Chain A
C-alpha cells in the first residue's frame, strides 16, 4: 500500500510539474471538443438486447473497428449491445450459451470455428433467438442455422490481391502470417498463391514489431528474388517498410486491412494497395440486420452471404479514405 501511495505521490508531483510547464508541443493530440456526441437514439430505447460475440484477441486494431461499427449501429437503432469475446473456441461457445441463457433478443457472432460453436448456435435457434454470422464462417453459417452473414471471402480476397500483383509483374511474393494456426490468414495466403503460384508464406511473431522487422529483413536478404510482400495486417505492413529499407529490397508491398499510418504510407506510395474487408461494415450490418429481422422480419442478402470485401484502397481513392482511418472507422 505504501508503495502505491508513494507511486501515486511521485506521479501527482510529476503531473503537476508537467501541467505547470504546459509547454505546447506539436504533434500531439488535436484538441477537439470531446463532449460532442453523435446523434441517434438513447441506448436501449427500442427495447432489444443484442449479444455481439467475437473471437477477438485483445489488442487487435481490426476488432476495434468492428466494435465501433456495432456500437454505432446499436446507437442508431436504439439497441442495447452486449459485447463479449474470447479467442478460444470452447470459451466462445460458452459466451454464446450465456447469451441464450440470458434470453437476449438476437445474437451476432463470428463463426471462426464452426464445429466448436455449432452446439451453442443450435441452442440459440432452438430457443427462437435469431443468429447472424459475421466476419468468419462464410461456408458454414447456413448449415449452423444462422440467418444472414456479413463478411469478406478470405480466399476471394487473396485471389483478387494476387491477380493485381500478377498484373504488376510479381512472380515471387512473400505472404506474411502474423498469427499461428489462423484459418482465415492461411486462406488469404492460399488465395494469393492460386493467382501467383510462386507465393511463399512466412510466419512472424505479430506481438513483437522488432521480431517481425528482423525476420522479414533476414528473409529479404536470404532470397533476393522476392519481388512482392503481402502482409495480412496493417501493423505488419509498417514493419515490412522498415525491413525493406534495411535489406535494400525493391519488393512491392501490399497489405490486408488498414490503419491510420498504413493509409499515410499508401498516400506516400510505400504501400501499393490495401485489401480492406471493411470491419466497420461487418459490425454495423450484423447489428442492424438483427434489428430489422426482429422488428420487421427482414432478411438481407437474398439467402446468400453479404460480402463486405475485398474493397481496394490505393493511390486513386486514398485521399477520400484517410479521414475515415483517423476516425478509426476504416
Chain B
C-alpha cells in the first residue's frame, strides 16, 4: 500500500490533471472516506455471522438496523456538522429536550400532541440556531459553546420536568389526542414475513440519502466542504460561511428532534436524565465512518456505516452471548482503529492533491 502512495507524486508535479485519472482503482477507492468503515463493517459482520448463531437471521439483522437507526439519524447531522468543521456536544441531550418539551407542554395545557411536536421543533431549531450563532459571532470553539448548551439542557430537562410534572420523568402521553397519528409517522413498525421493520430505519435511510445527495450534488454540499476545509478561503471565494455553519447546527437539532419524537411515541414517557453520553456515540459513528475531526472530509454513507457498525457490535456481543460489559472497550478499540485508518487515508489523499 505504501508503495502506491509514493508512486502517486511521481508524475510531473502540478502540471496535468491526467495524473489523477491515471491513479489506479485501488488508490482511488482508498481515498474515499467510507472505505475504511466499509471494510471494517464487512469484517465485523462476517465475524459475528460465524460466531453468533442467533445473529444469522433476518429478524436479528433488522433489530441491528433499528439500533443503528436511532443513533444513525442524529449521527448523519453530526457528521455533516463535523465535515463543516464544528462539533455539537448537545446533540445527545437535545433528543430528550425535544421529547420532554413536546410531551409536557401537551400534558400541562391539555392540547393536541401535534401542537407540542411543532412547538418542540421550533424550540430545537432555535437551540441549534443559538449554538451556531454563538459560535460564529464569538469565534469561541463550538466544542465549548455546545458543552455549555449540553449542561444547560441537561439541567433544564431535569429542572423543568420536575417543576411541571413533580417527578423526573414525563407523564404518559399515550392518551393525548394526536398520539396515534404522530406515532404512525415517528414510531410505527410493519411486518415483512416474520421480520419487524421500524419506520425509523426507513427515515434513517432517507436522511442519509438526502445528506449524501446534498454533499455530493449541490452547491450547499460544496459550501459544507469548503467551510470545514478552510473557512477563510471559503469566505474569500464568496461562500456564506456563517449561514452554512448555522444551518448545519440547525440540521443537527432537527434530527435530534426527530429521534426525540421517535423516543416519545415509542416509549410514551421519557426519563428527564436521558440521552447523556449519546453525543459521543454520534461522534464515534461519524469518525468511524471516515469523517475527519478537523473538518473538510467525510461523507454521509460513511457515517451511516459507522452507525451500523455501532448497532452491530452493541447487539452482536449479545447475540454471541458474551459479557456485554466489554462492549465499551470494544467500541473504543474500533474508534482507535478508525482514527488510524483515517489518518492513513488523509495522508494519502493530501499527497495525491500535491501530486
- A residues contacting B by CB (< 8 A) are 3-4, 6-7, 10-11, 14, 17-19, 21-29, 31, 57-61, 63-64, 180, 202-205, 207-211, 214-215, 217-219, 221-223, 235, 238-239, 242, 246, 259-261, 328
Contacts and interface: CB of A to CB of B under 8 A. Distances in A.
Nearest to B270: A209
13 contacts: A10-B126, A27-B175, A27-B177, A29-B108, A29-B110, A31-B110, A58-B273, A63-B168, A207-B277, A209-B270, A211-B67, A238-B267, A246-B196
Nearest to B119: A14
A131 B319 CA distance: 48
A208 B278 contact: yes
The binding surface of chain B is classed by DSSP as helix
Contacts of B174: 27
Given A203-B327, A210-B266, A238-B269, 6 more contacts: A28-B106, A59-B273, A63-B168, A203-B324, A205-B277, A207-B273
Nearest to B104: A29
A246 B272 CA distance: 25
B160 to A, nearest CB: 12
B60 A210 contact: no
A260 B274 contact: no
B121 to A, nearest CB: 10
B111 interface: yes
A217 B54 CA distance: 12
Contacts of B168: 58-61, 63-64
Interface in B171-190: 171-179
B303 to A, nearest CB: 18
B176 A207 contact: no
Contacts of A60: 168, 271, 273
B263 A209 contact: yes
Interface of B: 52, 54, 57, 59-60, 63, 66-67, 70, 106-113, 115, 118-119, 122-123, 126, 129-130, 133, 154-155, 157-158, 162, 166-169, 171-179, 196, 262-263, 266-278, 314-315, 318-321, 324-325, 327
Contact of A217 (B63, B108, B175): B63
A28 B107 contact: yes
Given A18-B119, A208-B275, A215-B324, A25 B108 contact: no
